[in-house]
């Protein structure tokens, strides 16, 4: 995945797994998932190199990459750093 092709990268912070699925800890993650659904972005798929689930799409003239880190909230920087 060549990251330079994206105009914007949006990270949905939260915790992976079903235990946190509908909690305030996952507000960012849920917002990004809803944004992806409402704008017909690709289905989230595993991006091992980034340690996150990734979805991509176009909004206006911009190519966007949406990331859902697969680490817990306090380690979200791992996906961002990658």
Which value, in Å, is the radius of gyration of the alpha carbons in the chain?
Answer: 12
pTM, 2 dp: 0.88
The structural architecture, per CATH, of the domain 3-81 is 3-Layer(aba) Sandwich (3.40)
Per residue in 3-62, pLDDT (tens digit) is 889 999 999 988 888 888 888 889 999 999 999 999 999 999 999 988 899 999 999 999
What CA–CA distance (Å, rounded) separates 73 from 70? 9
* CB distance 23 to 80 below 8 Å: no
Residues with a catalytic annotation lie at 25
Domain boundaries, the chain: 3-81
């Amino acid at each position: 995945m060549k990251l330079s092709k994206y105009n914007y990268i949006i990270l949905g912070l939260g915790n992976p797994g079903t235990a946190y699925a509908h909690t305030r800890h996952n507000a960012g993650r849920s917002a990004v998932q809803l944004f992806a659904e409402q704008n017909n972005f690709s289905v989230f798929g595993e991006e091992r190199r980034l340690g996150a689930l990734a979805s991509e799409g176009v909004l206006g003239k911009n190519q966007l990459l949406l990331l859902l880190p697969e680490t817990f909230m306090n380690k979200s920087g791992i996906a961002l750093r990658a």
